[in-house]
């Protein structure tokens, strides 16, 4: 656990000798969603995977959960660990935070991978004060939390999930408490992140390091138009579309994903 200025941040660290890869999970996730990635690359690279604020075992303060706020947490974590620069990988929400980091804190990022995350969003940030927005996550607001048994939780989450990977993704954030089975993410955090999120296309030309973009095939997360626009704005970009439509692209077709990611790592070494 890293005690940062504003939060306590849980993180997993392989402490392997070699270049450092930092993995940022998506909304509702936690470090554990990178377990298979860590198993695959953890002997060659030092891999650090934090629970971002509002998720997992990290602090869940009442705040706006802006990309700026969450990126600053990662910078503080790297400073805490005395790490100068990393290969940064972000999935979904984590991809947006990773993109912001690479644009605004370039000295910390040697190379960047953005997994199934669009830069699209509202042109202007919602200016409502925090106390005037909903503190309830729209996706899980009707979930009967806390679940009274593990079987109830498994049954409900399975029915609410669109794929087995999504089911496992949510199950990774389920925890047993004295009140019952709860989710390890903050409902307020999810609501605030969604409310204050905004487009970041304007940041893409500022990202000078090598960037890997991978999207799921036909998934709603990134439209073809947005994918092409992102590629056109990033100076040094390689891009792939997966053959599978699952949003969890690092888990759905692992060998295909590893092939693309290996090519990215090899190309980074040639720069």
Q: At what angle do helices 150-160 and 164-171 cross, to 10 degrees?
A: 140
125 close to 195: Cβ distance less than 8 angstroms: no
Range of the domain at 154: 138-184
pLDDT of residue 270: 59
- Cα torsion 64, 70, 75, 77 to 10°: value is 100
How is residue 33 written in tokens? 């969603």
What is the enclosing helix (H) or strand (E) of 259? helix 254-270
pLDDT of residue 138: 92
11 close to 51: Cβ distance less than 8 angstroms: yes
The Cα–Cα gap between 114 and 247 comes to: 12
Enumerate residues 6+ apart whose C-beta is below 8 A from 81.
Answer: 2, 13, 48
pTM of the entire predicted model: 0.96
Judge if 56 and 102 occupy the same domain: yes
Tracing tokens 């792939």 back to the chain, one arrives at 240
pLDDT of residue 140: 96
The alpha carbon of residue 141 and the mean position of all alpha carbons in its chain are separated, in whole angstroms, by 21
The answer as to whether 125 is a domain residue is: yes
Judge if 95 and 154 occupy the same domain: no
The Cα–Cα gap between 153 and 250 comes to: 25
Mean pLDDT by 10 residues, the chain (271 residues): 96 97 98 97 98 98 97 98 98 99 98 98 95 93 97 98 95 96 98 97 98 92 96 98 95 96 89 48
200 close to 170: Cβ distance less than 8 angstroms: no
Judge if 78 and 208 occupy the same domain: yes
The Cα–Cα gap between 92 and 94 comes to: 5
How is residue 32 written in tokens? 């554990």
> Burial of 190 by CB count in 10 Å (0-12 exposed, 13-18 middle, 19+ buried)?
buried
3-state SS string for 157-205: HHHHCCCHHHHHHHHCCEEEECCEEEECCCHHHHHHHHHHCCCCHHHHH
The answer as to whether 191 is a domain residue is: no
Q: At what angle do helices 67-80 and 93-104 cross, to 10 degrees?
A: 70
The answer as to whether 88 is a domain residue is: yes
Judge if 17 and 49 occupy the same domain: yes
The Cα–Cα gap between 44 and 172 comes to: 26
Q: How many domains does the chain have?
A: 2
Judge if 142 and 128 occupy the same domain: no
Judge if 38 and 167 occupy the same domain: no
């Amino acid at each position: 656990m890293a005690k940062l200025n504003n939060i306590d941040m849980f993180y997993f660290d392989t402490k392997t000798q070699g270049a450092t890869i930092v993995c940022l999970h998506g909304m509702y996730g936690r470090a554990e969603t990178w377990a298979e990635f860590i198993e695959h690359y953890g002997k060659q690279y030092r891999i650090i995977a934090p629970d971002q604020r509002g998720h997992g075992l990290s602090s869940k303060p009442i705040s706006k959960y802006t990309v700026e706020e969450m990126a600053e947490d990662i910078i503080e974590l790297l400073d805490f660990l005395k790490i100068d620069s990393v290969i940064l990988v972000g999935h979904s929400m984590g991809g947006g935070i990773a993109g912001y980091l690479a644009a605004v804190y370039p000295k910390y990022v040697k190379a960047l991978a953005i997994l199934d995350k669009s830069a699209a969003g509202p042109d202007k940030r919602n200016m409502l004060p925090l106390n005037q927005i909903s503190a309830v996550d729209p996706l899980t607001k009707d979930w009967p939390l806390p679940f009274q048994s593990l079987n109830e939780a498994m049954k409900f989450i399975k029915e609410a999930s669109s794929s087995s990977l999504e089911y496992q993704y949510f199950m990774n954030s389920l925890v047993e408490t004295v009140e019952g089975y709860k989710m390890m993410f903050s409902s307020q955090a999810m609501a605030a992140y969604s409310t204050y999120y905004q487009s970041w296309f304007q940041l893409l030309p500022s990202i000078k390091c090598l960037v890997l973009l991978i999207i799921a095939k036909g998934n709603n997360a990134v439209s073809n138009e947005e994918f092409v626009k992102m590629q056109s704005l990033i100076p040094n970009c390689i891009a792939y579309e997966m053959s599978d439509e699952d949003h969890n692209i690092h888990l759905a077709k692992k060998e295909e994903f590893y092939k693309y990611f290996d090519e990215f790592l090899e190309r980074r070494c040639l720069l």
